[in-house]
Amino acid sequence: MNTVFIESVGLAAPGLPSWQEGRATLRGETALVPAPLSPHTPTMLPLNERRRATPTVRLAFRAAEDAMQGTALPAASLATVFASSDADLAIIHRICLALTATPRLISPTDFHNSVHNAAAGYWSIAAGARAASTTISAHSGSFAAGLVEACAQVLVDDCDVLLVAFDLPAPEPLHAKCAMAHPAAAAIVLTRRPTERSMAALTCNSTSATETTLDEAALEQLRLGNPAARALPLIQMLALQRFGSVVLPLGLAANLAVELRAP
Amino acid sequence: MNPLRISSYTVSSAVGAGRAAHVRALRAGTTGLDRLSFDTNTLDCWLGEVRDFDVPLTGALADWDCRNNRLAEFALSQDGFLDAVAACRARYGATRIGIFIGTSTSGVQHTELAYRARDAVTGTLPGWFDQRRTQNIFSVAAFVALRLGLSGAALSISTACSSSAKVFAAASRAIAAGVCDAAVVGGVDSLCLTTLYGFNSLQLISADICRPADAARLGISIGEAGGFALLDPLAEGSLALLGYGETSDAFHMSLPEPAGRGAIESMRAALARAHVAPGEVDYINLHGTGTIANDNTESRAVCEVFGNITPCSSTKGWTGHTLGAAGMAEAAISLMAIEQGIMPCSLNTRTKDPAIEAGILLETRVAPVARVLSNSFGFGGSNCSLLFGRLP
């Protein structure tokens, strides 16, 4: 694929609460202390929607808002790609539990929040973003698959795109069936043309090479514990202001080689 | 955009298995909806259930067994689709064909069954429950890729009821950007209690049969469907995707924006990408769920873009609302409209709602059809319009 430009990054994971605060850790200057993320208030959302926003929506917002800190582009101008393996497993749990009871009473708010694109819907309302928005899943390859779709949107539909990857562990008993250790979210703003804020030029192509692992054991554990955290090798390169390539998992057979160059 | 040729397509819904069953039903005006029992459903409603597919998967892909993947398997087996993909694979190689599948709930019905079977003391879920290969949203795309022996870029798109319309847009972009040379797109959504009781909690399930645009309509009838299309720029067939439009309402999670701005812009974007004027569209396949809000808003949006002359109808009176599969099912019906020269009526519509000014077809029309626009709208304010046509 042709080149797109990374404008900004957002991050939310235990010990990496934001891009600004996580950079030193990703550069290896401070050790990772995987403290749980504090609750996030999505201040961009109108009060009515904010009241209904689930922890999953709030996590996606946390990384998306963080990425918007690094760009002058208005949120309303961006197309969006949301990438999540499982979106809201807590709601799936509540609904499946309610379906075993008599009478079967599902909360209407739970139901409309259960759609995989709930975070995307809330974001479009918060940002006043009326452009294209898609929400995808590719299990542990969700971030890379979302990156491919986001790059294709930039290149083919000629727009700037906000990519947001997010996943949250399920409550028990579902948790025992989904290997997800902690919540994590990562966001990237991609642009058609370089700007004064561009951090890197990016190209990506599928590869049979094996995925990049992280040297620091605690960071590697973080990477493996959540589909969105599979973005960390790429985000670490940006933290180190280093160019080169990383390989991210992409769905089934192939992986994705992501190459970063000077913008 | 360059028109993208569609070399093969298939659909299975409550109407029947494969294209011929759908063409027959569209001509005869016979609905696939019925008052059926499904699972342990106690709601008073009509359902669009696919017949004779619900048998366990066996062999190498037995681990992926769940209602949704069974429906995928059944739908893939119709209309020579497997052979068409095999020929395409021989031409481009397995790694160069992308897989883009829309679903709203994937195999969540399997999770419902697992919760019913959880341990009475510990609450743990049964050993047979494999979340990744069933309930996970990617499960259906992974299953389809494995079943077809394809290893190109694979993903599921899940944007509620626009999911499997948006796969056409994503696949078109992926081919244009060089991610893949050809693509299998599809939509698979199967009946489950989550959507039945979920839509019921929003008071959108009709006790009466789904009557799109009818003055006395009461809401949706839920259906299930599986369908697929093979997008191949070098194919020889004459059917093609001419354009797509995608927008967001930025208004409400489960209600359409009353003026239909998002719908207007998605229809206009599809026309603009194809360089087609509104007057060049012969028939519009509406989203037409049969709810008060959707049908009124969509009519206003259609009239804004096309006026009230272009013939249009929802075909959910035949299939029910197949949710994440609706975009694909209605893409298939749009392609049949072009191939057969038929514009299906708005089945079950007795008296058109006076508030609806769009050119709703109360009787099926037989006439040449060169271009069809198909609308799909979903929760979260997700809009997608697709334009299909015949190439020389």
Q: Scan residues 95-114 of A and list those with Cβ closer than 8 Å to B.
A: 95-100, 104-108, 111-114
Decide if pLDDT at B71 tops 90.
yes
Q: Which residues of B touch A115 (CB under 8 A)?
A: 104, 158-160, 378-380
**Contact assessment for residue B328 and residue B343, using Cβ atoms and an 8 Å cutoff:** no
Q: Which residue of A has its CA nearest to B111?
A: A96
Share of chain B above pLDDT 90, in %: 99
Of A111, A127, A149, the CB nearest to B198: A111
Q: Which residue of B has its CA nearest to A253?
A: B151
Structural domains in chain B plus CATH codes = 4-390 (3.40.47.10)
| B81's tokens | 């689709």
pLDDT in tens, A157-174: 999 999 999 999 999 999
pLDDT band at A3 (very low <50, low <70, confident <90, very high): very high
Q: Helices A89-98 and B193-201, interaxial angle, to 10°? A: 90
Secondary structure, 3-state, B142-182: HHHHHHHCCCCCEEEECCHHHHHHHHHHHHHHHHHCCCCCE
pLDDT band at A251 (very low <50, low <70, confident <90, very high): confident
Whether A121 sits inside 8 A of B151 (CB atoms) is no
**Contact assessment for residue B301 and residue B264, using Cβ atoms and an 8 Å cutoff:** yes
Decide if pLDDT at B284 tops 90.
yes
**Contact assessment for residue B212 and residue B316, using Cβ atoms and an 8 Å cutoff:** yes
Distance separating alpha carbons of residues B94 and B309, to the nearest angstrom: 45
Q: Scan residues 206-225 of A and list those with Cβ closer than 8 Å to B.
A: 206
pLDDT in tens, B358-381: 999 999 999 999 999 999 999 999
Distance separating alpha carbons of residues B309 and B202, to the nearest angstrom: 33
Whether B379 sits inside 8 A of A116 (CB atoms) is no
Q: Which residues pair with residue A201 across a beta bridge?
A: A5, A261
Whether A117 sits inside 8 A of B382 (CB atoms) is yes
pLDDT band at A136 (very low <50, low <70, confident <90, very high): very high
Decide if pLDDT at B136 tops 80.
yes
Share of chain B above pLDDT 70, in %: 100
Query: Could you say which of B287, B303, B312, B345 is catalytic?
Result: B287
pLDDT in tens, A19-65: 999 999 999 999 999 999 999 999 999 999 999 999 999 999 999 99
User: Residue B36 has what pLDDT?
Assistant: 86
Q: Does domain A4-261 have CATH number 3.40.47.10?
A: yes
**Residue of B101, B156, B251 to mutate when probing chain A, most A C-beta within 10 A:** B156
User: Residue A179 has what pLDDT?
Assistant: 83
The terminus-to-terminus CA distance of chain B in angstroms comes to 17
Q: Which residues of A touch B104 (CB under 8 A)?
A: 115-116
**Can B287 be counted among the known catalytic residues?**
yes
pLDDT band at B302 (very low <50, low <70, confident <90, very high): very high
Residue B290 CA, chain-centre distance (Å), reads 16
- What rounded mean pLDDT belongs to chain B? 97
Residue A59 CA, chain-centre distance (Å), reads 9
pLDDT in tens, B90-130: 999 999 999 999 999 999 999 999 999 999 999 999 999 99
Q: How far is B240 from chain A (nearest CA, A)?
A: 18
pLDDT in tens, B215-272: 999 999 999 999 999 999 999 899 999 999 999 999 999 999 999 999 999 999 999 9
pLDDT band at A253 (very low <50, low <70, confident <90, very high): confident
φ, ψ of residue B383 to 5 degrees: the values are -115, 140
User: Residue B332 has what pLDDT?
Assistant: 98
Q: Which residues of A touch B115 (CB under 8 A)?
A: 96-97, 99-100
User: Residue A254 has what pLDDT?
Assistant: 86
Distance separating alpha carbons of residues B390 and B392, to the nearest angstrom: 7
Query: Could you say which of B66, B88, B161, B210 is catalytic?
Result: B161
User: Residue A153 has what pLDDT?
Assistant: 98
Per-residue pLDDT, averaged over B310-327, amounts to: 98
The alpha helices in B177-254, defined as continuous H runs, are: 193-201
Q: Which residues of B touch A176 (CB under 8 A)?
A: 124-125
Q: Scan residues 186-205 of A and list those with Cβ closer than 8 Å to B.
A: none
Q: Which residues pair with residue A81 across a beta bridge?
A: A134, A163
| B54's tokens | 């619900």
User: Which string of DSSP letters, residue by residue, matches A86-134?
Assistant: SS-HHHHHHHHHHTTSSS----HHHHHHTSTTHHHHHHHHHHT--S-EE
Domain ranges of chain A: 4-261
Of B15, B4, B18, give the one whose Cα is nearest residue B228: B18
Q: Which residues of A touch B251 (CB under 8 A)?
A: 125
Whether A130 sits inside 8 A of B262 (CB atoms) is yes
H or E, element range at B98: strand B97-102
Decide if pLDDT at B392 tops 90.
no
